[in-house]
Amino acid sequence: MRLDPLIIETVKKNLKEKNQSEKLTDLVLDWFDKKDEAKITSEKKDELIDKIIKEIKI
């Protein structure tokens, strides 16, 4: 991933602070990665967002 490591660390930390699961963190970072590489189709993106939304606990 070409994102600055500090961004990844900060997102991880903030998700953890809001009591979110590691699975959600992994899904979000996976999305960053795919977005960065422009390797994601609209259908796959929608599937990924659906998974992310399901995983959010509030």
Binding residues vs other proteins (CB under 8 A): 1-4, 6-7, 9-11, 14-15, 18, 28, 31-32, 35-38, 45-46, 49, 52-53, 56, 58
Tokens of 48: 């990924």
Q: Would you say 18 or 23 has its CB closer to other proteins? A: 18
Least spacing, CB of residue 18 vs other proteins, in Å: 6
| DSSP per position, 12-55 | HHHHHHTT--HHHHHHHHHHHHHHHTT---HHHHHHHHHHHHHH
CB of residue 26 to other proteins, shortest distance in Å: 14
